[in-house]
Amino acid sequence: MSSHVITPGPYRATKLWNEVTRLFRAGMPLRKHRQNFRHYASCFTASAAVDWLHQLLRSNNNFGPDVTRQQTVQLLKKFLKNHVIEDVKGRWGTEDLEDNNTLYRFPTTSPLKRIPCPTPTSNSIKKRPSFRDKEGFFKFRSIKKHDKESLENVDPALQAQQKGGTDPTDEQQMQRRELTEEDEQDIWRDITLTHLQRILGVTSLDGVLDPRYVNPQNIIHNMSKVNKHGVVTLDDKTNDLPHWVLSAMKSLANWPKYDSAQPSYPGFERDVFKTVSDYFYSLPQPLLTYELYELFINVLGVLKPQCERVAIEALQLCTLLLPPASRRKLQLLMRMMSRISQNVDMPRLHQAIGTRTLMVHTFSGCVLGSAEEWDLDELLATRLVSFLMDHQESILSVPEYLLSAITDRVQYLRTVQVPIDSVPDTDSTGPVCVPVPMYAFCHQISSAEFEQQKLEASQKAMEELLEILLTDQNMSEKDRRKKLKQFQKQYPDIYRRRFPPSETEGNSKPKIKPPLLNIRKTKAFSIRN
């Protein structure tokens, strides 16, 4: 049966649904059955469908061998509700399918879900000019030939400045502009999303992540407000786990060392476990939120044994986008699940299921879920939660490389001179805006041009950062080597362009130009301050 891996990209969840539907309809054996003294052609029993579909899912690279028979039954129930299949009398729209000999067939209409077309104006939405725009972080298309004629009517001072000349008003127009709180939030968001797009290997996050659900304040909080154990702390305690839930989770995580004041009887640990699971399923939405469902589904596309490091980095960034209360609950839950699974002294919590399998299948539904009734969240959540539990310490920690890149960028923008938007005209009754040359001649560009310029601008920003690391006289040589090594690891292509292999053969350290070797050592300080 022909199948292929659905790589990360827009609307991956819908593509996965269509892929499973296509394979099921094309490969499920059909034959003639007799029921209640009647013969039905081209149909199949529910049990036969479970057998065949279960084997398909286990052998499919998009799902894997961890798919259970019960999950397959749940998927067939969704198939029945969404008219992928119907009973032999043509009925559908319910979820009453069971693993038995009831007969079903395929409808004549196509059950494939329509993949939304990208909105043509999605990349052309105008936004408020931010600090990075004024500094040249995003560039505009070159001026066309027929547009150059308009230069004749431009202020000569501005023409001179465009050509590299000087003007008495340059000092006024190049006054330093303070970095606002909103500017800093833009930097946190943009650098995080740039790294995420690179890790996922997609040309755009359109259809993968809705920008309306990216709150830079969540990123800042999740990276800066953590306790000594790396767990997020909350300003508003009303959003925290209730005390009785925390107490129950600690009892299970530290079993058999628990509060002596708590009751002890046979099966007590099972009751505590049920109390914890009931609480998490009572939450209004999954911990990874409905809004970020498509994003986490795309991470599953890089969740392969040979790409373990890439998957960890991708999940690190994705979980930073969560509301702080959701990230804190996720951290505490994953820690509890991991400790219970590794605790050999923990009594068996289920008669027929192992402890690890029980952890994954119990909590997968409250970690990842879709607001759509037809998505494959039961299958996909199991795989994701299993990986989260195994690597929770790395995934739910603060990525130091990202924090360093953001703080270095903020530090740099606080020290550079940038043009101001306007200067007042003291000869008039009110302020008259004088256009800054950077904004004098801008043109609307296509989505493809925007993506290309965004990539080039991001690379240039990283090149500027590399130059800062090489020329900063306030940085000790030890810190310089450490940051250069970190930069080389995160951006090997940019580093290789700056230091070609021919220049660094036989020496792992970058060969710095002679003038920089005489930099006077000064007392080192933290660039994060």
- Structural domain count, the chain: 2
Asked if residue 292 belongs to a domain, the reply is yes
Both 95 and 243 in one domain: the answer is no
Residue 92 has pLDDT above 60, yes or no: yes
Asked if 236 and 367 sit in the same domain, the reply is: yes
Is 80 exceeded by the pLDDT of residue 3?
A: no
Of the residues 86, 105, 124, which one is the last residue of a structural domain? 105
Report yes or no on 236 lying in a domain.
yes
Query: How confident is the model at residue 118, as a pLDDT?
Result: 57
pTM of the complete model: 0.68
156 inside domain: no
Q: Tell me the CATH number at 51.
A: 1.10.10.10
**Residue 373: per-residue pLDDT:** 77
Query: In Å, how far are 68, 70, 76, 463 from 55, measured between CA atoms?
Result: 10, 13, 14, 50
User: 76: domain range?
Assistant: 12-105
* 365 and 378 Cβ atoms separated by less than 8 Å: yes
Using CA atoms, how far residue 438 sits from 159, 307, 455, 510, in Å, is 11, 42, 20, 35
The dihedral region occupied by 144, where left means phi > 0, alpha psi between -120 and 50, and beta the remainder, is beta
- Domain boundary residue, one of 367, 397, 427: 397
The mean per-residue pLDDT over the stretch 93-121 comes to 84
Residue 500 maps to a domain: no
**Shortest CA distance to 176 belongs to which of 137, 130, 131, 127?**
131
Enter the tokens of residue 26: 């094309």
CATH number at residue 333: 1.10.555.10
Predicted pLDDT at 362: 93
What the block records as the tokens of 427 is 């000869």
Q: At 62, is the pLDDT very low, low, confident or very high (cuts 50, 70, 90)?
A: confident
Higher-pLDDT residue of 266 and 228 is 228
Which one is predicted more confidently, 123 or 456?
456
Residue 476 is assigned to a structural domain of this protein = no
Q: Look at 161-165, 198-202, 360-364, 459-463 and tell me which has the smallest mean pLDDT.
A: 161-165
Reported confidence tier of residue 87, pLDDT bands at 50, 70, 90: very high
Last residue of a domain, one of 72, 105, 138: 105
3-state helix vs strand vs coil in the chain, percent to 5: 50, 5, 45
Residue 366: pLDDT band with limits 50, 70, 90: very high
Residue 134 has what pLDDT? 39
* Domain match, 243 and 383 both: yes
Q: Dihedrals φ, ψ of 78, to 5°? A: -70, -35
Question: Residues 394-398: what's their mean pLDDT?
Answer: 95
Per-residue pLDDT of 19-44, as tens digits, reads: 999 999 999 999 999 988 899 999 99
